[in-house]
Structures are given as structure tokens and as C-alpha cells.
């Protein structure tokens, strides 16, 4: 019984930890999506958007970066490795939205925010 309670508490804490990380990811992703949709609407050029996307959403980017680092450190990664991982994950999201922009620029396609 005691082992079951300890396991349940550990799983509950892990779920809460995952929620904060996922909330930070969604916040950053939704901010990038809003930037994408506005840029498509005003017909920014691809180079303009690509440059802007690299700097977009600084508060959301930092929150997600910090949560990724904290999560990775919790798994035993060094600070340097955790920061490198976080940087790579963030860049993949930015690359995804810049790729979508290239596809949607001429069609006016919009991305849907996560709920």
C-alpha cells in the first residue's frame, strides 16, 4: 500500500511537471503561430518573416527555454547539455513556422492555435 501511494504521488508530480512544460510549449507555439498569421495577412516577404521569427516571442521563448532546461536537468543532464537541447528544440519550432510561412505566403493560409 505504501509503495502504491508513493508511486501515485510520483506519477502525479510528473504529470504536474509535464503540464507546466506543455503550457510553456503551447504558449511559445501559439505566439509563433500568431506571428505567422499576421505576417501572411500583411504579406511580409519570406526573408522578412524568417528574420522576425528568429527574434519573435521573447517572453514565451524564455519561459519555454527555462522549462526545458529545468526538465532536462531533472533527468540528470548537465546545464550545458540541457541548454543545448532547449536551444535545439526552440529552433525546431521556429524552423517549422518559417517552413509553414513559405507554404502559406501565396495562398494566405493560416495556422490554427493550440487549445
Domain membership of residue 7 (yes or no) is: no
Domain membership of residue 30 (yes or no) is: yes
Task: Count the domains in the chain.
Answer: 1
> How does pLDDT run along the chain (115 residues), one tens digit per residue?
444 444 444 444 454 455 999 999 999 999 999 999 999 999 999 999 999 999 999 999 999 999 999 999 999 999 999 999 999 999 999 999 999 999 999 999 999 999 8
Query: What is the per-residue pLDDT for 7?
Result: 40
Task: Enumerate long-range contacts of 40-49, CB under 8 Å, 24 or more apart.
Answer: 40/101, 40/104, 40/105, 40/108, 40/109, 40/110, 41/108, 43/105, 46/98, 46/101, 46/102, 46/105, 49/98, 49/101, 49/105
Domain membership of residue 40 (yes or no) is: yes
C-alpha distance from residue 78 to each of 25, 44, 74 (Å): 21, 40, 10
Q: What is d(CA 76, CA 73) in angstroms, rounded to the nearest whole number?
A: 5
Domain membership of residue 1 (yes or no) is: no
On whether the CB atoms of residues 66 and 20 are closer than 8 A, the answer is no
Domain membership of residue 78 (yes or no) is: yes
**Residue 99's domain spans which residues?**
18-104
Domain membership of residue 8 (yes or no) is: no
Query: What is the per-residue pLDDT for 34?
Result: 98
Domain membership of residue 97 (yes or no) is: yes
Query: What is the per-residue pLDDT for 18?
Result: 53
Amino acid at each position: 500500500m505504501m509503495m502504491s501511494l508513493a508511486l501515485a504521488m510520483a506519477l502525479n508530480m510528473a504529470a504536474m511537471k509535464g503540464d507546466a512544460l506543455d503550457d510553456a510549449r503551447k504558449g511559445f507555439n501559439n505566439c509563433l503561430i500568431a506571428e505567422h498569421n499576421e505576417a501572411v495577412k500583411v504579406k511580409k516577404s519570406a526573408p522578412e518573416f524568417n528574420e522576425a521569427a528568429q527574434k519573435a516571442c521573447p517572453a514565451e521563448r524564455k519561459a519555454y527555454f527555462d522549462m526545458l532546461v529545468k526538465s532536462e536537468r531533472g533527468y540528470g543532464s548537465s546545464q550545458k547539455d540541457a541548454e543545448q537541447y532547449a536551444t535545439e528544440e526552440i529552433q525546431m519550432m521556429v524552423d517549422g513556422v518559417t517552413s509553414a510561412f513559405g507554404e502559406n505566403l501565396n495562398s494566405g493560409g493560416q495556422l490554427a492555435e493550440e487549445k
